[in-house]
């Protein structure tokens, strides 16, 4: 009993420390990002003839920064909130904060470059207040689009995956792949039901979800289980867990999913068959909390049977390819959530942080697909990369 309790504390303490450290860094960044807003608001208030414009701007920035800290602490455990609060309070605040972040780097660059330009021209040195104001305004427009429009508008992608030596009877097998649902106050159940309807309309043989069904906490577990239960695939519905699924107690979610008929693969696998041809479908548990064990997940695979592995974190692709896994399906990166349109494979936030960040990759005979995600985490914003329901078709290479 004591050893078991000690082990649980060892597993959970590190993520809590990481979450606390991450939270502090986010607060510092967002507080700093309000500095351009002070300039932008002061410039706008001055043009509007409002008395004491810079005092007003400073007061607005302080209120916004305090609201951010309060909202971020609330978000550490996602709670049910009324639709009015979400749409009238949360969404406008997130749009503003994203606009502040958008303006931060251009504003800093302008503060450095503008005085030099004035000196070269022989003009009086003046702060680039107008430039900062318009930069914030552009950020506000982009953030409003990314929050209100782009993250709601999902696509259905058809992606063929070549598998060397695939049994001809498995050629054409279709896998509906969903990932990073992040169902919660900002991503309601009704959105997820649209995703599952789109997946079912493609008549997949298998449906899989590669982790992060939750944003955080446990308030939305019942909604998530009900949504997953609507997936319809004759060979089964399979789920692997992600790091956000343990931002709270993940065990009730596992029980609910299994009670609705989904197979939650936690370092284990199962054989499915089509027309008598076997396929081994395995899943590893979350890497962030060190629950993953790829060797256990593959321990029962039959010899010569191709493996499809569900691994929320694509960083495990090196391990899976070395173990002869034919196909690894992952998520986690969201494709960065913010990317340059049409160039998201090369220019996105996730490309900076992850070796495998979106789309197809190959190592030898092994293939990895990193899902762009459906929900959002952190800022509820998407730009340049669409949420997607992905339909994979296995093809004999």
Q: What is the pLDDT of residues 245-269, one digit of tens each?
A: 999 899 999 999 999 999 999 999 9
By the 8 A CB rule, do 360 and 328 touch? no
Q: What is the pLDDT of residues 31-69, one digit of tens each?
A: 788 899 999 999 999 999 999 999 999 999 988 888 877
Q: What is the pLDDT of residues 297-329, one digit of tens each?
A: 999 999 999 999 999 999 999 999 999 999 999
Q: What is the pLDDT of residues 171-200, one digit of tens each?
A: 999 999 999 999 999 999 999 999 999 999
Q: Strands of the chain (E only): list them.
A: 155-163, 174-178, 206-210, 237-240, 263-264, 268-274, 277-283, 307-310, 327-330, 359-363, 366-370, 388-396
Reduced to 3 states (helix: H, G, I; strand: E, B; else coil), residue 159 is strand
* Whole-number average pLDDT of the chain: 90
Residue ranges of the domains in the chain? Answer: 2-150, 155-396
Query: Is residue 144 over pLDDT 50?
Result: yes
Q: Which residues contact 182 (CB under 8 A, 6 or more apart)?
A: 212, 213, 214, 215, 244, 373, 374, 375, 376, 377
- DSSP class of residue 336? G
Fold observed for domain 155-396:
Purple Acid Phosphatase; chain A, domain 2 (3.60.21)
By the 8 A CB rule, do 60 and 41 touch? yes
């Amino acid at each position: 009993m004591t050893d078991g309790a000690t082990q649980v504390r060892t597993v959970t303490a590190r993520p809590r420390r990481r979450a606390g450290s991450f939270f502090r860094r986010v607060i510092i960044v967002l507080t700093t990002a309000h500095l351009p807003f002070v300039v932008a608001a002061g410039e706008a208030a001055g043009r509007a003839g409002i008395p004491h414009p810079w005092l007003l701007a400073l007061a607005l920035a302080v209120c916004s920064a305090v609201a951010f800290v309060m909202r971020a602490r609330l978000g550490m455990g996602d709670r049910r909130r009324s639709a009015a609060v979400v749409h009238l309070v949360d969404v406008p605040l997130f749009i503003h904060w994203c606009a502040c972040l958008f303006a931060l780097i251009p504003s800093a660059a302008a503060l450095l470059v503008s005085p030099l330009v004035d000196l070269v021209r022989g003009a009086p040195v003046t702060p680039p207040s107008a430039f900062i104001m318009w930069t914030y305004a552009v950020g506000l427009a982009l953030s409003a689009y990314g929050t209100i429009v782009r993250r709601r508008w999902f696509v259905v992608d058809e992606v063929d995956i070549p598998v060397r030596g695939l049994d001809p009877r498995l050629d054409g097998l279709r896998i509906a792949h969903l990932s990073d649902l992040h169902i919660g106050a900002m991503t309601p159940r009704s959105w997820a039901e649209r995703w599952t309807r789109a997946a079912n309309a493609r008549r997949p043989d298998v449906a899989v979800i590669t982790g992060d069904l939750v944003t955080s906490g446990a308030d939305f577990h019942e909604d998530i289980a009900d949504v997953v239960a609507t997936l319809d695939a004759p060979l089964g519905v399979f789920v692997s867990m992600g790091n956000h699924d343990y931002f709270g107690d993940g065990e009730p979610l596992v029980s609910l999913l299994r009670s609705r008929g989904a197979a939650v693969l936690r370092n284990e696998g199962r054989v499915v068959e089509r027309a008598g041809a076997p396929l081994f479908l395995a899943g590893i548990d979350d890497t962030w909390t060190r629950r993953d064990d790829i060797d256990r997940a593959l321990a029962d695979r039959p010899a010569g049977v191709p493996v499809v592995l569900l691994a929320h974190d694509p960083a495990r692709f090196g391990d899976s390819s070395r173990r002869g896994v034919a196909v690894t399906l992952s998520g986690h990166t969201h494709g960065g959530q913010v990317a340059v349109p049409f160039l998201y494979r090369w220019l996105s936030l996730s490309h900076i942080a992850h070796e495998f960040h979106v789309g197809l990759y190959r190592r030898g005979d092994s293939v990895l697909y990193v899902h762009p995600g459906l929900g959002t985490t952190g800022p509820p914003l998407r730009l340049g990369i669409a949420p997607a329901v992905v339909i994979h078709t296995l093809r004999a290479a």
